[in-house]
Structure 1
Amino acid sequence: MALNNLFVLVSMVIVCLAPGIHGNGHLSFSNIPGLQVNITRAGCGVTRVCVDQLVNCNSSMEGSCLFASLEVTSRTAPNGSVLDITMQGTAMANEYIAIGLKPTTGTTLVFVCGRQNEIRFRFFTRDLNSSNSMLEPSETITTQILGNITGDLIQCQFTVPNVNATEARSADNTFAIQLARGALGAGPTGPVGTFNASRTTEPLNLGDPSSTVPTTAAPTTLAMTTSSGPASFIPSASLLLWSVLALPALLRM
């Protein structure tokens, strides 16, 4: 009887400490007091790969489109690499934002930051079934999970250890990145339905951000044009100088 009571007490403590986990031992939330989600473009293309939902999405940092950054912080053969991920976007109640890591061959790993109601943050990992685009339960180890909800904006950051795009002993950090949003299912089961990516990049080497094709291009500055009429003529400096020198001779003629 005493042993049974102890088991019940321990179970209650686990539920109270981690209400968002629902028994998923592969997930662990950050327990560092005062630590906040930090979303930034600092280091994009230098130490981290950054991806927007739309190329040239200038307002992505305000949350109107999805933004994600991925940084390889260490490599440990043969297990793979440690990958730090941040992500943000708009999500209403019972919606989620997600990022997928798609290797050249094999299963796409999907990480989901959800908003069950106005204030409750939820986190899930899923596998993407390539044959029908359905999200299926998975147990991808994910640590240091942090989430934040402010208005319509949802932000999250987390660490994925032992990331490897290949089954070979050497670490392979080449993935296509997929960004998506969708609806959360009822209860603790998480997202349901198909995974519809709004952005899929080409394969990117996450371990060498400077070698990848820029995933967020710089804004292009366009020349000013008029709606009608001939193009303006701007004389060169040499032509102006010739005109000044020739003017006295022309006046004497």
Structure 2
Amino acid sequence: MERGLILLVAAALMAYVAPGVQGTSHLSFSNNTEVNITRDGCGVTKLCVETPNDCDPSATNGTCLFGSATASTPMPPAGTNLIMELRGFSEGYVALGLTTDQSQGSTMLFVCAQNSSNNGSFFFRTMQRNNTNGALTPLERTVREIRGMVNVMVNGSVIKCEFEIPNANASRAVKDASTNFQVLLGTGPVVGGMIGDFRIALNTTLLTLTNPASTNVATTATPVAMTTNSASNGAHPHAVLFLLSVLSLAVMLRT
């Protein structure tokens, strides 16, 4: 039997995440909604990355690990607003990382996860990954309009989320506003509500996120009208869907 739970935070919420502590939030439930992630617009209106190639992020099951970025016009020195999509299959979490050099410095990880000890509920974290030793540290970074969905399956979960990163800037120079990032996709465990080691599944070259054609992902034009197919592919997931209208966590994006 499939049940839907939706979570809405009506007012802005600030959670401070200290080293070694991951913040929690008091949340309330609201009406049902959907998180629909597709390939529509890849290479045209949004930059897309995925593994395996040409996989389908709209599938109700399967191991497609997919991320996309839709960027506003860069505005120095504030940076660029990035609307992100992330979809993957994991028993713990899926994450998208942005870095300027994967071999050194740090990566900002945006983590969409499920809490298996709480009925598969969705939660979101921002983490910093040390690119030298892989160590993860909870930090602060402003993230807005977070929406998450978890479809609990027999051997894992399909996790989908959308969120907005305001004022993203890869440049250390105040006068510049760069969106040249390497994008990392991966998964990892959640143990006792804590984010475990990040396992990288995809690491791109340096991409310009304001250029949807910056990757070699097949171009898919956005249709005039979109329909949603809610049919299950033979599976009966226990769906847990959360909508966070505004969630502010603060983590520096700079490396």
Band the TM-score falls in, shorter-chain normalisation: 0.5 to 0.7
| Residue 149 of structure 2: aligned partner | 148
**Residue deviations 1:27-63, cap 9 Å, x none?**
999x99765323121111011111112224x344324
Query: Residue in 2 aligned with 1:53?
Result: 51
Matched, 1:134 2:139: no
CA contact (8 A) 1:61 1:67 kept: no
- Cα deviation for residue 81 of structure 1 reads 0.3
Amino acid in the other structure paired with 1:147: G
Q: Which amino acid aligns with 1:186?
A: G
Identity of matched residues, %: 31
Give distance in 2, aligned partners of 1:59 and 1:158. 20
Whole-Å separation in 1 of the counterparts to 2:201 and 2:31 = 35
Tell which structure's C-alpha radius of gyration is larger.
1
Q: What stretches of structure 1 of length at least 5 have no aligned partner?
A: 1-15, 219-253
Name the structure, 1 or 2, with higher relative contact order (CA <8 Å, separation 6+): 2
In the aligned structure 2, how far is the partner of 1:201 from the partner of 1:81? 20
**2:206 alignment partner in structure 1:** 203
| Secondary structure, counterpart of 1:75 in structure 2 | coil
Per the alignment, residue 64 of structure 1 pairs with: 63
Q: For residues 1-253 of structure 1, what are the structure 2 equivalents within 5 Å?
A: 23-24=15-16, 36-56=34-54, 58-62=55-59, 63-92=62-91, 95-104=92-101, 106-117=105-116, 118-151=119-152, 152-168=157-173, 169-187=175-193, 190-193=194-197, 195-210=198-213, 212-215=214-217
Specify the code of the residue in structure 2 equivalent to 1:180: G
The residue aligned with 1:6 is: none
Contact 1:125/1:139, CA 8 A, preserved across alignment: yes
Q: Normalising to structure 2: TM-score of the pair? A: 0.67
What is the aligned residue count?
193
In the alignment, residue 169 of structure 2 is paired with which amino acid? Answer: N
Relative to the length of structure 1, the TM-score reads 0.67
**Bigger CA drift: 130-139 or 58-67?**
58-67
| Structure 2 gaps, min length 5 | 1-7, 18-22, 221-255
2:245 maps to what in 1? none
CA RMSD of aligned residues (A): 3.1
Amino acid of the residue matched to residue 185 of structure 1? V
After superposition, give the CA deviation of every residue in 1:37-94 in whole Å (9 maximum; x if it has no partner). Answer: 23121111011111112224x34432422111111034322011000001111123xx
Indicate the structure with greater strand content.
Answer: 2
> How far apart, in 2, do the equivalents of 1:131 and 1:140 lie?
21
Q: Which amino acid in the other structure matches residue 172 of structure 1?
A: S
Structure in which a larger fraction of residues adopt helix: 1
Partner of 1:13: none
